[in-house]
Structures are given as C-alpha cells and as structure tokens.
Structure 1
Amino acid sequence: MHIRSSTFGLVVLIFVTLSHAFVDPTCTKMKDALKENPDKIFHHFQELVCDKGKYKPKVSNYEKWADKNAVQPMIKKVMKDMGLPDKESILQKLAKQVVKVVKTKCKKYVTVNLCQDPETLEGFGACLKDNLLPVVMENIGGLMPLVSEPMCKKEFAYLQKDELWDKVIPSYMFKYAAVCKKLNYEAKGTVISTATQ
C-alpha cells in the first residue's frame, strides 16, 4: 500500500479512523463498507506521481503547497458534497494536528523522496496510519459533531460513492503532480506560481 505524505489520503483515513472510535451503528459499519477503497488512494498516488519518475514528493512540501492547494480545498469539497459544510473547520483543525504528529512520529520520512522506492512510501503510509487513531482520540471532544448517527449516515453514503475514489482524490493528485517538480527546486530560488495550480 502506498500513500503520499498526509496530503491526499488524510481526509479519508480520518473518516475511517473515526469509525473505530465510536459505537453508533452506522459509524461502526463505515470501515467494513469502505472495503478496499482507501487502498485506491495509494494506487492512484503511485500511478499518478511515483510512476512518472520525475517527481520527488516530500512531507516537507506540505506547507509549501499541499496544505493550501490540495488538503484544504479537498476537505472543503468533501464536506460540501456530504452536506456538512458547517463542519469543515473540524477536519481542517484535525488535519493540522495530524501533520504535527507525522513530523514528529514519522520524522525519518519528512525530508526523503517518498517515491524513491516502494518500501519508503509503504513505510510512510504505515507510520501515518499508525498515528491517526491517537490523534483522533486526543481531539475526541472537538470531533463529536462528526460522529453522531445522522452525521455517520451522511459520511457513510458519501464514502461509498466511486466519485470520491476515482475522481475527487485523483484530481488533487494531478494538481500536485503538476507542481511537484517545481517544489523540489523552490529551495534554489524558484518561485511557484499559483497559475500552475
């Protein structure tokens, strides 16, 4: 399994993790109903970014581009599509907490090229997933509005749709791939234009 930093799979993995923490019927069914869909995230990233061979994605690029141009807009879109736009700030805050933890707990992956070999990407993905539940549990109070039975029903219905897995998530990976090479040269003085985003 493969995953790119805490960027594209973050929202989905958070929902999957939330389903472990609560007992409402639909919330507990969420993980099983997702089947292999979260693995599509890994496949898409491998195919759209790593297999191209010219990108060197790094966790350290998160603040440079991915947070503002991929994660925040994707959370906004997903929450709107689920009919929960008023709950967007909850996931935005949680995403920031996950990134902080990843930088500490998955430190050995922060500055390396995640596509350098399958083991690196897989190791990072495993580290990210291992640290999601503790972050969720630390922020449980703020997440309660997302895990009631009515909320889980909306989330469950949305997460089962192919659109999320086959269109929404890959679209943000395409955006990332379009600027990934430039991100690697930013330290040398190259400025990333928002026109390419």
Structure 2
Amino acid sequence: MKFSLSLAMANLVSASIAAESPLPSGFPAIPKACLEIPQAIGFKPIKLMNQFQQEVCVKNCSATINQHNEFLVNTVFPQIIPDLDKKLDISTSNKQLLNQTRTEAFAAIKKSCDSKGDQPLCNDPQGLFEWGTCAMQASGPIYQKNMKQLAGALKLSESQCEKLKALDSDDSVWNKVIPGYIKQFADQCESNQ
C-alpha cells in the first residue's frame, strides 16, 4: 500500500485551495470552522499512511482488500461512528438515514467489487485503484438516490464544524486512536499468517 507523497501533497493543496475558494451561488454557505478542517488535519494522514506501510505492508501482511474492509466495517466503524454521532449531536432520524445509506452502499460495493477485493492490500497500487474505482461506481447510485435527504442530514452548523475541527486537531486521535487500529490490524494480519 505504498502511497505517493506527491499525490498526497496534491490532494492536500487541492483541499486547501477548495477551502479558500468561494462557492458558486446556489450552494449553501459552509461554516468557517469546516473550511479550516484541512489545515487542522495537515499532514497527519501521510504520517498514518507511512505507519500503515511500516507496520502492515513492510511486514509482508498478505491480507486482501476485502479483509481490510471487513476489519473496518466490523471493528473500526462500530466504535467510531456512534462516538462521532454523539459528539456532533446527530439526530436519531439522521443517524437512521446515514446508517441505512451506509449499509446499502456497503452491500452494493460487496456485490459489485468482491472479486476485485480479493487482491492484495499491500504493494498493489493498481489493484487498490481498480477496487476504489469499482467501489465509487457501485456506491454512487446509492448516494445519488439519497442525495436530497443526505444534504439535509449532513448540513453542519458552525458548532458542529467547531467540534469536528477540535476532533481533527486532537493529537490523541492521530497519535493513539487511529494508530491503535493500525496496530490491531497488523496484529490480526500477523496472527493469520
């Protein structure tokens, strides 16, 4: 799972430019704190990608993309999503909509992309690209179908954006929580070899 540093930099620069650019009329205003999130995140994802590379891929983890996705869906998301919903005060009806949409998207991805997900997770950028393209094509219609409802559910207030920015600025998330999941996956991978 080698990632190009220049690609990551290009994405970061694009996100920063997008955050500073005015939106065309007709788009709802984005709260200022949400526009500051890319700067709050900074290069932290690159550090995590390097950690994943060192702890998982360099150690010859033979896990597939599907096995990693299973780990995310069964281990990581059930812990992170309820906590995030609570911290952002997401309403019960919006939680239900988001959960239903996420479940439908996961099912569509599994149905359409399962064979592509049998490719190695590490050191196969082409396989990751093919799976990612398939996943976007499979989940796109689900998100489009629910776009109107999702737009209302995902409209963040300034206070929610402040909370998100605080979470994204929290070093314990980037230095302890997420690395803990990387270690957990690495340990699981090692025990399966």
Normalised-by-shorter TM-score class:
0.5 to 0.7
- Write out aligned runs for 1:140-159 (5 A): 140=147, 141-142=149-150, 144-146=152-154, 147-159=156-168
Name which of 150, 159, 169 aligns with 1:160.
169
Residue number among 157, 178, 185 corresponding to 1:169 in the alignment: 178
Residue of structure 2 in register with 1:68 after alignment: 74
Partners of 1:169 and 1:119 lie apart in 2 by 22
Indicate the structure (1 or 2) with the bigger Cα radius of gyration: 2
In the aligned structure 2, how far is the partner of 1:31 from the partner of 1:138?
Answer: 28
Kept after mapping to 1: 8 A contact 2:117/2:131: no
Any idea what the Cα deviations from partners look like across 1:46-89, whole Å, max 9, x if unmatched?
A: 12211222x22223225754422222113234445x35476766
Residues 145 and 151, structure 1, Cα contact 8 Å, conserved in 2: no
TM alignment of 1:15-34, pairs within 5 A? 23-25=29-31, 26-34=33-41
Give 1:111's aligned amino acid.
D
Sequence identity percentage: 20
Q: Kindly tell me: are residues 65 and 161 of structure 1, through their superposed partners in 2, closer, same or farther at Cα, counting changes over 3 Å?
A: closer
Q: For residue 187 of structure 1, what is the aligned residue in structure 2? A: none
Distance 1:173 1:89, change over 3 A: farther
Sort the Cα spacing of 1:24 and 1:165 in 2 relative to 1 into closer, same or farther, 3 A.
Answer: same
The alpha-carbon distance between structure 1 residues 60 and 145, as it changes in their structure 2 partners (threshold 3 A), is same
Q: 1:139 to 1:165 in 2, by over 3 A?
A: farther
Asked if structure 2 preserves the Cα contact closer than 8 Å seen for 1:27 and 1:152, the reply is yes
The alpha carbon displacement at 1:136 in A equals: 5.8
Pairing partner for 1:56 from 39, 51, 62: 62
TM-score, structure 2 as length reference: 0.60
Distance in 2 between residues matched to 1:124 and 1:51, nearest whole Å = 22
Following superposition, the deviation at residue 109 of structure 1 comes to: 4.2
SS class of match (2:166): helix
> What are the ranges of 5 or more consecutive residues in structure 2 without an aligned counterpart?
4-14
CA distance in 2, matches of 1:39, 1:125: 21
Aligned-residue RMSD, C-alpha: 4.1
* Aligned counterparts of 1:120 and 1:100: Cα–Cα separation in 2: 23
Which segments of 5 or more consecutive residues in structure 1 lack a partner in the other structure?
4-15, 185-197
User: Partners of 2:131 and 2:49 in 1: how far apart?
Assistant: 9
Q: TM-score, normalised by structure 1?
A: 0.59
